[in-house]
Amino acid sequence: MNMKQIEKEFLDFVKKISAYNEALGLIYWDLRTGAPKYGVEQRSEVIGLLSSEVFKMSTSEEMAAYIATLSKQLLSEKTSKILQECKREYERNKKVPEEEYKEYVILQSKAESVWEEAKETDNFALFSPYLEKLVDMTKRFVSYWGYQENKYDVLLDMYEPGMTVSLLDQVFHELKDKIVPLVKAVSKSPYKPKTDFLFEKFPKELQREVSLKILEKMGYNFNAGRLDETVHPFATGLNPGDVRVTTNYNENDFRTAIFGTIHEGGHALYEQNISKDLIGTPLCTGTSMGIHESQSLFYENILGRSYSFWKNNFELLKQYAANGQFDGVELEDFYRAINESKPSFIRIEADELTYPLHIMIRYEIEKGLFNGELEVKDLPEIWNEKYEEYLGIRPKNNAEGVLQDVHWAGGSFGYFPSYALGYIYAAQFKHKMLEEFADFNHMVESGELLPIQEWLTEKIHQYGKLKKPIEILKDVTGEGLNPNYLIDYLYKKYTDVYKLN
């Protein structure tokens, strides 16, 4: 068989794996949007069987042979990147002994249910041995996978290819130095936004109408997607022609649905606009968690909580709000209200100013655990100390402290930093947009958001995983990771909102 034929066979094999993943994606979407509950047990079996087929194919001798043979060839850029992805996956999975991996999967699922109980009963000691074991096993996996500078780099790399502790340390340090004083200044400001008008009853169906209108303005294509309701909002790209968004409606706080929709809409625009040429390959998704999050956060916060955006959309919102919820509310007051910031315990409820601090705390703890500088048993105390240092508040219990997030129970170490990276990237992209669109604010004020989506598609979306995050960042902005744009953005915004000058 000649090389062209082998390459074609390899691409067919990869296409098959993608097909399984697409079917799995639909099953997950369905489970979260209304699958009948009595069918779930059997559906889990189906998930198990299809996932194990994917695993088998990704780690098969057939795959090994393709990697071995094709790695020596001169390939097109696309095939070569696909091969790299497959190799990455193959090695990650093959280097861990099968028995240990099975043990780990069982541990994960036990740990999640123990974590739930521990959180409910505020009992860290219950969860602690599981967390210890998860950290130990993950450390062992890291040693199988191999690392260069820092063990934790290997975990960062899973979510943000190329990211390292040495870079994050520096960037987070700068960020912390600037944000902590800003948070303090905001706390002390006597000019608090009024927010009472946010919490009036806004019927679900009308919130849905507003959500649909805003998605459309953003450039979300309803021929390639749909909006459904779930407890936890998400976006899922089954293929670029089918990228679904969900949101959650709180009738006493319209912000949940509207900003949730805009956030997921940002993720969805990314997935809808990946080049069709990448369909059926592992490159047909966002290049990293961080870049993905940069898209959702750009839309949700930088755009969606901007004065210009609401200058265009406040009338729309007023129109749909029942019972004159915003009668007599000035745009200025509305803008300040949706940008209220205050230190809080729960990460997922945090505002955009304090959010990065929640992340840094988790980053420092994870890094400490994997470098042997911290022990699991000490986490509650360390956690609370850090909240006091960074945010000036101390959790009263572990449920609102160290036990709040499911991530560690699921073994997801190295994941948290992506959220903060998303903020940093988003601010860098925004800065570039200001340079390239002379009339950026005016455009947003007039509701012309399509040029923004087109710009993001041209520079980011279309590439999928063809470019690494750092390549994207450099090609778009001309520089590397730089927290100063986020810092500037936050200073300008919160100085204004809280009248700090």
Q: Give the shortest CB-90-to-a copy of itself separation in angstroms.
A: 21
Place of tokens 């001798």: 61
Report 325-384 residues binding a copy of itself (CB under 8 A).
none
Is 140 an interacting residue with respect to a copy of itself (CB under 8 A)?
no
Report 185-224 residues binding a copy of itself (CB under 8 A).
221-224
Is 8 an interacting residue with respect to a copy of itself (CB under 8 A)?
no
Q: Which H/E stretch holds residue 235? A: strand 235-239
Q: Which H/E stretch holds residue 256? A: helix 255-272
CA distances from 108 to 91, 113, 127, 366 (A): 21, 9, 12, 17
Q: Give the shortest CB-224-to-a copy of itself separation in angstroms.
A: 4
Which string of x and - marks every residue 25-44 that binds a copy of itself (by CB under 8 A)?
Answer: -xx--x---xxxxxxxxxx-
> Which 8-state DSSP code applies to residue 247?
E
Structure tokens at 263: 């956030």
**Residue from the set 3, 8, 46, 378 that interacts with a copy of itself by CB under 8 A:** 46
- Burial code (b: 16+ CB inside 10 Å, e: under 16) for 227-256 equals beebeebbbbbbbbebbbbbbebeeeebbb
Is 238 an interacting residue with respect to a copy of itself (CB under 8 A)?
yes
Looking at beta carbons only, is 44 or 252 nearer to a copy of itself?
Answer: 44
Is 45 an interacting residue with respect to a copy of itself (CB under 8 A)?
yes
CB 238, CB 25: distance < 8 Å: yes
CA distance 32 to 370: 34
Q: Give the shortest CB-294-to-a copy of itself separation in angstroms.
A: 25
Q: Give the shortest CB-268-to-a copy of itself separation in angstroms.
A: 11
Looking at beta carbons only, is 238 or 486 nearer to a copy of itself?
Answer: 238
Report 277-296 residues binding a copy of itself (CB under 8 A).
279-280
SS3 readout for 304-346? CCCHHHHHHHHHHHHHHCHHHCCCCCCHHHHHHHCCCCCCCCC
- Residue ranges of the annotated binding site for Zn(2+) are 263, 267, 293
**Residue from the set 6, 9, 11, 22 that interacts with a copy of itself by CB under 8 A:** 22
- Residue ranges of the annotated binding site are 263, 267, 293
Is 57 an interacting residue with respect to a copy of itself (CB under 8 A)?
no
Q: Point out which span in 45-53, 164-172, 410-418, 444-452 binds a copy of itself (CB under 8 A).
A: 45-53
CA distances from 409 to 115, 168, 199, 280, 371 (A): 6, 24, 34, 32, 19
| Active-site pick, 264, 300, 352, 366 | 264
264 is catalytic: yes
Contacts with 290 (C-beta within 8 Å, 6 or more apart), sequence order: 159, 160, 163, 417, 418, 421, 422, 425, 469
Q: What is the dihedral of CA 63, 68, 69, 73, to 10 degrees?
A: 120
Is 14 an interacting residue with respect to a copy of itself (CB under 8 A)?
no
Binding site for a copy of itself (CB under 8 A): 15-16, 19-20, 22-23, 26-27, 30, 34-43, 45-46, 49-50, 221-226, 238-244, 279-280
Just list the catalytic residues. Answer: 264
